[in-house]
Structure 1
Amino acid sequence: MQPGIHREYRPVVFRDRAGGLDFLTRSTATSNQSIEWEDGNTYPVIDVEISSASHPIYTGNARVMDTAGRVERFRRRYGLTGAEPTSAG
């Protein structure tokens, strides 16, 4: 790495307030806020809106819509029956 052109890579705490998850990792992200971590050191803290603790896919709260339902809704909306022959060549 060339000296003087890269941002500082340091420990940072990411905090998901909705999911109640805090985790310490390394990042180049900066913040004016700081937090005292479990090890007694103070680190910059960055609040995030979604993490694995609050994302619907990871928590199991995701709504699943089947593909057949989407196809039927498309056909109702645009008036296609599905039994119409297609012209070949």
Structure 2
Amino acid sequence: MRPGIHPEYHPVVFRDRAADSAFPTRSTATSDTTVEWTDGRTYPLVDVEISSASHPFHTGAARVVDAAGRVERFNRSYRR
């Protein structure tokens, strides 16, 4: 990598407010807010709107869409 052109890559904690969960990782994201993690160290805290803890696909709350029925209705409506 060329020096001086890449953002700093450091440990942070992402918090999903919808699911009330947090997880540590590494990122280039920054924040003025900090949190003390279970290891006793302080990390920047980045709030996110959705993560795998609250996303319907990952939690199993996703709805099944009847695509076949929609295609048939479309074809009936616009049959030539």
Classify the TM-score, shorter chain.
Answer: 0.7 to 0.9
Q: CA deviation at 1:75?
A: 3.1
For 2:54 and 2:31, how far apart are their aligned partners in 1? 22
The residue number in structure 2 matching 1:31 is 31
SS in structure 2 of the partner of residue 13 of structure 1? strand
1:52 aligns with 2:52: yes
* Largest Rg, 1 or 2: 1
Consecutive aligned runs of 4 or more in structure 1 exceeding 3 Å deviation: none
For 1:73 and 1:38, how far apart are their aligned partners in 2? 55
The CA RMSD over aligned residues, in Å, is 1.5
Deviations 1:38-89 (A, max 9, x none): 011110010011111100011111111122122133235x342xxx7xxxxx
Question: 1:7-86 counterparts in 2 under 5 A?
Answer: 7-76=7-76, 78-80=77-79
The residue number in structure 2 matching 1:6 is 6
TM-score, with length taken from structure 1: 0.80
For 2:73 and 2:40, how far apart are their aligned partners in 1? 56
Number of aligned residue pairs: 80
Q: Gaps (5+ residues) in structure 1? A: 85-89
